[in-house]
Amino acid sequence: MVSSPQETNTLCDLCGSGQFTQLHEWPVGDFWNPATVPIAVWQCNQCQLVFLHPVPTAAQLPDAGDWWSTDRRQFQRRRWFKSRWAKVRGALIGDSRDRLIRSTRSAVPSGKLLDIGCGCGDLMERARRYYDCVGLEPSPTAAAAVRAKGFPVLEATFEAAEIAPGSFDVVTMDAVIEHVPSPTAALRKINSILRLQGVVALKTPKFGGPAYRSHGPGWNGFRHGYHTFLFTGKTLGSFLEKTGFEVLARPRRDRILDDILILWGRKVQDVR
């Protein structure tokens, strides 16, 4: 049986409450559970934040927790339709990275940009026309690919990276905030490395959207065992406000039929 957050004296990372309700559980051997321990997602009774508990250690996940493991479940529904639709949409308005940079430029047109969890540098390739780009990536293989494209890259986890205060005008986290050990700690650090009035762009699976309502415990957004927190527009916005940011009304993507949530926050005060 999975242990509860109350048994380990876990407190909500957003509001500090210690009262939670279990939403879904996956025992060892379940199709969706790649870990060697049972896992579950819980919801805070006070602020409704959704999180994974327990979080498997690297040793309890395939290939020492490598996100690119071939043993990770990667089930994509309606693959043919989604592939064709992505090509049509990309031809008309650009792919998702193009659109993220275009929207971010409406808040900060130029400056120095840090892409946290930059992968192989695809987002920075879109941004380099407008920003002086730096990547941050813990994977040695991906970091090498970024350097081959001509970008400087910090090869470290964000938690361990040493970054001077006030170094950047823009920070992007495309499908990263849902992996961090503590959104509060991550956003406080982002606040410190941004200049005043700098902007953070956060893109993440949206909990409670139509795909989750359709598929429940089989929702792809859980990325079972790997995603530590899941957000609604309300909970992610509350994290931003807690850590010294103003949530921007525009640009913003948090519509009722969206399965992807994107919020932009402008630094309005220093938070230590």
Domain boundaries, the chain: 5-65, 79-203+243-267
Overall CATH class of domain 79-203+243-267: alpha beta
Determine the pLDDT at residue 63: 82
Mean pLDDT (the chain, rounded): 92
The pTM of this model reads 0.91
Tell me the C-alpha distance between 30 and 18, whole Å. 28
Determine the pLDDT at residue 85: 45
Looking at per-residue pLDDT, the higher value among 35 and 70 belongs to 35
Q: What is the per-residue pLDDT across 186-245, written as a single tens digit (0 to 9) for each?
A: 999 999 999 999 999 999 999 999 999 999 999 999 999 999 999 999 999 999 999 999
| Mean pLDDT confidence for 120-129 | 97
- Give me 253's structure tokens: 């993507």
The answer to whether the CB of 197 falls within 8 A of the CB of 5 is no
**Is it the case that residue 93 has pLDDT exceeding 60?**
no
Plot region of 113 (φ>0 → left; ψ -120 to 50 → alpha; else → beta):
beta
